[in-house]
């Protein structure tokens, strides 16, 4: 069988990552940066998708890569809650990506761009896989404490699922037969309780629920939040910035760079050391809570994301959680490979795509 040529697309707030694979061998990868001036002319995030699609086409041409892909896969966005899996992009999904009920997100453009390139240029299939809205929560996990505020599932599903499946394969086990806790440590932090292939509980990382992170405040004392909302000049937008974007390490230390915080801590900055350890402390608490969800039956704890490169953070964290289960570290977030892996498996027929409705 000839190699399956795959184009993977992962839009971020000011960049678009693209990668080309032959089967699972990467042959080209680049992060295309978009200036704020370039994006400022668009009223809505999804209005950017033609601009970003054209930028991708130009970059591929500049790199001498012909448009002869067998499949195009995009990062999934804030569509309706769905089970884990790979989904062919259909008209209903396009409608929901353009008009999302749960708010706009840059990743919504992944599906739109993938569908447009696949259908208008290549006449091939287009997919998304394990978007951030993967929802496999158990009924009890949806309770918050008030019926007006049901807990929802929004997390780093693509990376968490890929790391979990690859770990299971590495120990000759089936992901659907084991229990794992997976902690993704990036700009946001999510900790998922994976019970036999399903994430039955996870903190909602998009709005900063759970541990604080490099730029998100995490779960805050609600009484003080309510009081802050009534302060003169405080708007909904300003409060949201405190929670997402200007919280966490940014609020305490003026930076969202974990490597910088680690360096400051190692060179005698006591505040940096304490804040960094406090973040690890909160992640450890979330992992402990996930172990309770799994009734203590945990085969392994997997740590992934950019902060997993930090030896000091991992030291702070493993000191508190190593008694629960074996801890394994998978630094970074190879989302492009995870997308390609999904596209490859569905193209060769090992995985059946699901229908979005």
- Over residues 156-178, the pLDDT tens digits come to 999 999 999 999 999 999 999 99
Q: Identify whether residues 127 and 213 lie together within a single domain.
A: no
Q: pLDDT-based confidence at 74, cuts 50/70/90?
A: very high
Per-residue model confidence (pLDDT) at position 99: 84
Does residue 311 carry a pLDDT above 90? Answer: yes
CA distance 97 to 337: 23
Average pLDDT of the residues in 197-202: 97
Q: Identify whether residues 173 and 320 lie together within a single domain.
A: yes
Q: Identify whether residues 128 and 238 lie together within a single domain.
A: no
| Mean of pLDDT over the chain | 92
Residue 151 lies in a domain: no
CA distance 202 to 293: 10
Residue 146 lies in a domain: no
Residue 352 lies in a domain: no
Q: Identify whether residues 273 and 194 lie together within a single domain.
A: yes
Q: Identify whether residues 125 and 204 lie together within a single domain.
A: no
How does pLDDT run across 77-92, given as a tens digit for each residue?
889 999 999 999 999 9
Query: Residue 63 sits in which domain range?
Result: 5-134+335-347
Q: Identify whether residues 206 and 282 lie together within a single domain.
A: yes
Residue 148 lies in a domain: no
Per-residue model confidence (pLDDT) at position 207: 81
CA distance 170 to 88: 29
Does residue 104 carry a pLDDT above 80? Answer: no
Q: Identify whether residues 168 and 260 lie together within a single domain.
A: yes
Q: Identify whether residues 107 and 246 lie together within a single domain.
A: no
Q: pLDDT-based confidence at 40, cuts 50/70/90?
A: confident
Q: Identify whether residues 204 and 289 lie together within a single domain.
A: yes
Query: What pTM was estimated for this model as a whole?
Result: 0.90
| Ranges 132-136, 138-142, 232-236, 304-308: which has the least confidence | 232-236
Residue 66 lies in a domain: yes
Residue 150 lies in a domain: no
Residue 246 lies in a domain: yes
Q: Identify whether residues 118 and 164 lie together within a single domain.
A: no
Phi-psi bin for 255: left (phi > 0), alpha (psi -120 to 50), beta?
beta
Provide, rounded to the nearest whole percent, the portion of the chain with pLDDT above 90: 74
Rg (CA), the chain: 20
Per-residue model confidence (pLDDT) at position 1: 56
CATH code of the domain containing 204: 3.30.420.40
Q: Identify whether residues 221 and 129 lie together within a single domain.
A: no
CA distance 342 to 356: 16
Number of domains in the chain: 2
Q: Identify whether residues 165 and 311 lie together within a single domain.
A: yes
| Ranges 27-41, 189-203, 254-268, 277-291: which has the least confidence | 27-41
Does residue 110 carry a pLDDT above 80? Answer: yes
Q: pLDDT-based confidence at 332, cuts 50/70/90?
A: confident
Does residue 141 carry a pLDDT above 60? Answer: yes
């Amino acid at each position: 069988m000839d190699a399956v040529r795959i184009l993977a697309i992962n839009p971020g707030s000011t960049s678009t990552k693209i990668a080309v694979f032959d089967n699972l061998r990467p042959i080209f990868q680049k992060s295309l940066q978009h200036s704020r001036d370039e994006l400022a002319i668009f009223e809505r995030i999804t209005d950017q998708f033609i601009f970003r699609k054209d930028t991708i086409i130009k970059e591929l041409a500049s790199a001498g890569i012909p448009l002869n892909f067998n499949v195009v896969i995009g990062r999934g966005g804030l569509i309706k809650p769905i089970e884990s899996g790979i989904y062919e992009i259909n008209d209903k999904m396009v409608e929901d990506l353009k008009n999302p009920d749960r708010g706009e997100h840059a990743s919504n453009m992944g599906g739109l761009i993938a569908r447009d390139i696949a259908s208008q240029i290549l006449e091939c299939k287009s997919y998304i896989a394990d978007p951030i809205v993967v929802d496999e929560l158990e009924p009890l996990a949806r309770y918050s404490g008030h019926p007006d505020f049901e807990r929802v599932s929004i997390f780093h599903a693509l990376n968490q699922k890929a790391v979990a499946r690859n770990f299971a394969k590495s120990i000759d086990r089936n992901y659907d037969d084991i229990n794992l806790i997976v902690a993704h440590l990036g700009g946001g932090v999510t900790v998922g309780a994976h019970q036999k292939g399903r994430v039955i509980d996870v903190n909602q990382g998009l709005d900063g629920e759970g541990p604080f992170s490099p730029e998100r405040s995490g779960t805050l004392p609600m009484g003080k939040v309510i009081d802050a909302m009534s302060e003169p000049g405080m708007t909904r937008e300003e409060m949201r910035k405190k929670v997402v974007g200007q919280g966490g390490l940014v609020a305490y230390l003026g930076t969202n760079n974990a490597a910088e915080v680690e360096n400051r801590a190692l060179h005698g900055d006591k505040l940096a050391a304490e804040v960094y350890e406090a973040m690890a402390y909160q992640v450890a608490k979330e992992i402990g809570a996930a172990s309770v969800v799994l009734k203590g039956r945990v085969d392994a704890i997997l740590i992934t994301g950019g902060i997993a490169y930090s030896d000091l953070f991992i030291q702070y964290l493993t000191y508190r959680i190593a008694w629960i289960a074996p801890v394994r570290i998978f630094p970074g977030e190879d989302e492009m490979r995870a997308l390609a892996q999904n596209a490859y498996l569905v193209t060769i027929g090992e995985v059946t795509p699901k229908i979005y409705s």
